[in-house]
Amino acid sequence: MKIRENKGLTFDDVLLIPQKSSITSRQQVDTSTRLTDKIRINIPILSANMDTVTETSMAIAMANAGGIGIIHRFMSIEHHVKQIKLVKRAQGVMVENPYCINSNELVEKAIELMRQYKVGGLVVTDDGGFVNGIITTRDVNLVPNGKLLVQDVMTKKEKLVTLQANFSVDEARRLLYENRIEKIPVLNPDGTVRGLVTAQDVLKPVRNPNAALDEKGRLRVGAAIGVSKGEIARAEALLEAGVDVLVLDIAHGHADHCVDMVRTLRANHPNAQIIAGNVASREGARDLTLAGANAIKVGIGPGSICTTRIVTGFGVPQLTAIMDSAEGIRDTGIDIPLIADGGIQKAGDLVKALAAGAESIMIGSMFAGTEEAPGSPVIRDGQKVKVVRGMASLAATMGRKMVESNNDESAEDQEDWMKVVPEGVEAVVPYRGNVGEVLHQLVGGLRSGLSYGGAENIKKLQENAEFIEITPAGIRESGSHDVRKL
């Protein structure tokens, strides 16, 4: 048995000492960062892979703002893949595999499909799969008879404007403008359908200039996977669907089965981007780095809904966990980034986490109250709130068991309630409106923080960082005090 001499510290225990700065405007600083050794994002923020935090709406909003959402794994592989594809279809100058209809179908079928898929047009193909037209809401809105054939009302091949796969965004924009059209099918060299470009998609990058995009111009998105053998199939399906990064979701990441999973994925998918964790020690970070991870996620028990430290007695205060783990990565000589996961309550915590060695941070509860998080708000004691639950809470654990056992409430399932040892809680958080507003505050705090740190970017913030440990009196002085808040 041993006891460490230096104390474990967390965000509230310290402040950063202001540094000489030549930054005159908050707009001058660069908030971009490494998510993994190969992927950059434009703001250093991830939404957590929790079932009350990240599904498609959150992932789309996060990537549009320049960060990334990690879609949780507590759903079937099929559903998971569908969610990734929805994010990937949400933006990108070209939609791949657009919805199609055969030219011999009835117009009413086209109307029904457009409604069902919530799209404004379908590419029309013949029996051989070759493109021979396009049908849009403009063609069908006033159609007198739904029993007409698609080929009778569509824009026919002779008049169809098309693009080849190697088109440029400027070319697409010019054709859309010159022909005053909304959609252009993209063809393969043999005349089959490759994709669809819409005016809306061409405009989106202008609307979200900071969006985190992949090399095809689509929003970036991540997905969580478990570490059991069956999860290899999930990982492969997600990679096939175009996921940018896989996040190993295991509470104690410094474990043989987690290290083995990283090794297996690395061996089978050399180019896959893998975030491994969670760890809170130098050795944990080192072992996962050596196993082939592209980034290390740090945090054992700092989360707002976590009770791991109470239930098990294990954990490391988050600031120390970040510093120790960063050293563990450095020990290997492999240059991969660190993600600080959990415990971020204020923008200042984010700045401290980055200064301590993280290159990005993951947030759960602060986002759970936003519009984009799954679930609807409810009124509790006159206040609008949303539910957040730890993924190891009793409700989340039992919810998963019910899904796994196909909702079969047998006696055995009932007994399972007694066997669960929760390491998280269920709670409510105030409703916070759109996540964009929360992100605006966080990124605003980061921009100011960089300026106080005399740093034009996150790397420089880390180089300049000097922490000072504070006392309970210092903590009290740091918040608003001796005034009555409105």
* Residues labelled as active-site residues: 306
Closest among 469, 433, 428, 397 to 304, alpha carbons compared: 428
By CB under 6 A, what part of segment 84-113 binds ligand XMP? none
Cα separation, 17 vs 5, whole angstroms: 24
**CB under 6 A: which stretch of 90-98, 110-118, 360-368, 371-379 binds ligand XMP?**
360-368
Closest among 380, 381, 364 to 435, alpha carbons compared: 364
Segments in 269-421 forming alpha helices (H)? 282-291, 308-312, 318-332, 347-355, 365-368, 394-404, 411-419
Residue 220, both tokens: 């970036």
Residue that has been written with the tokens 């936003």 in this structure: 370
Closer residue to ligand XMP (CB): 131 or 373 = 373
Closer residue to ligand XMP (CB): 23 or 395 = 395
Taking the complex as a whole, how short is the minimal distance between the CB of residue 264 and ligand XMP, in angstroms?
23
**CB under 6 A: which stretch of 210-218, 287-295, 296-304, 445-453 binds ligand XMP?**
296-304
Closest among 477, 476, 474, 481 to 14, alpha carbons compared: 474
Q: At what angle do helices 435-452 and 347-355 cross, to 10 degrees?
A: 50
Closer residue to ligand XMP (CB): 248 or 363 = 363
Closer residue to ligand XMP (CB): 160 or 306 = 306
Closer residue to ligand XMP (CB): 69 or 299 = 299
How far apart, in Å, are the Cα atoms of 310 and each of 48, 300, 315, 344, 415?
22, 11, 9, 19, 24
DSSP designation for 180: T
Among 44, 185, 364, 369, binds ligand XMP (CB under 6 A): 364
Among 33, 318, 365, 464, binds ligand XMP (CB under 6 A): 365
Residue type, 4: R
Among 363, 385, 438, 461, binds ligand XMP (CB under 6 A): 363
By CB under 6 A, what part of segment 250-289 binds ligand XMP? 278
Among 33, 136, 304, 464, binds ligand XMP (CB under 6 A): 304
Cα separation, 263 vs 293, whole angstroms: 8
Cα separation, 343 vs 326, whole angstroms: 18
By CB under 6 A, what part of segment 413-442 binds ligand XMP? 423-424
Cα separation, 93 vs 436, whole angstroms: 23
Residue 160, both tokens: 């169809």
**CB under 6 A: which stretch of 209-217, 324-332, 359-367, 433-441 binds ligand XMP?**
359-367
Q: What angle do CA 238, 241, 246 make, to 5 degrees?
A: 35
Among 58, 114, 344, 354, binds ligand XMP (CB under 6 A): 344
Quick check: 67 binds ligand XMP (CB under 6 A)? Answer: no
Cα separation, 236 vs 397, whole angstroms: 25
List Cβ neighbours of 154 (8 Å cut-off, separation of 6 or more). 103, 124, 133, 134, 135, 139
Cα separation, 112 vs 388, whole angstroms: 37
Residue type, 307: T
Residue that has been written with the tokens 């609008």 in this structure: 384
Got the DSSP string for 184-221? EEEE-TTSBEEEEEEHHHHHHHHHSTT--B-TTSPBP-
User: Which residue number has the CB closest to ligand XMP?
Assistant: 424
Quick check: 391 binds ligand XMP (CB under 6 A)? Answer: yes
Among 52, 162, 308, 464, binds ligand XMP (CB under 6 A): 308
Taking the complex as a whole, how short is the minimal distance between the CB of residue 424 and ligand XMP, in angstroms?
2
Among 253, 292, 390, 449, binds ligand XMP (CB under 6 A): 390
Quick check: 342 binds ligand XMP (CB under 6 A)? Answer: yes
Taking the complex as a whole, how short is the minimal distance between the CB of residue 321 and ligand XMP, in angstroms?
12
Check if the beta carbon of residue 366 is closer than 8 Å to that of residue 438.
Answer: yes
Quick check: 464 binds ligand XMP (CB under 6 A)? Answer: no
Interface map 179-218 toward ligand XMP (x if CB under 6 A): ----------------------------------------
Closer residue to ligand XMP (CB): 46 or 101 = 46
Quick check: 343 binds ligand XMP (CB under 6 A)? Answer: yes
Quick check: 50 binds ligand XMP (CB under 6 A)? Answer: yes
Number of shown-chain residues binding ligand XMP (CB under 6 A): 25
Closer residue to ligand XMP (CB): 110 or 223 = 223
Cα–chain center distance at 36 = 13
Quick check: 349 binds ligand XMP (CB under 6 A)? Answer: no
The binding site for ligand XMP (CB under 6 A) comprises 48, 50, 278, 299, 301, 303-306, 308, 341-344, 362-366, 390-393, 423-424
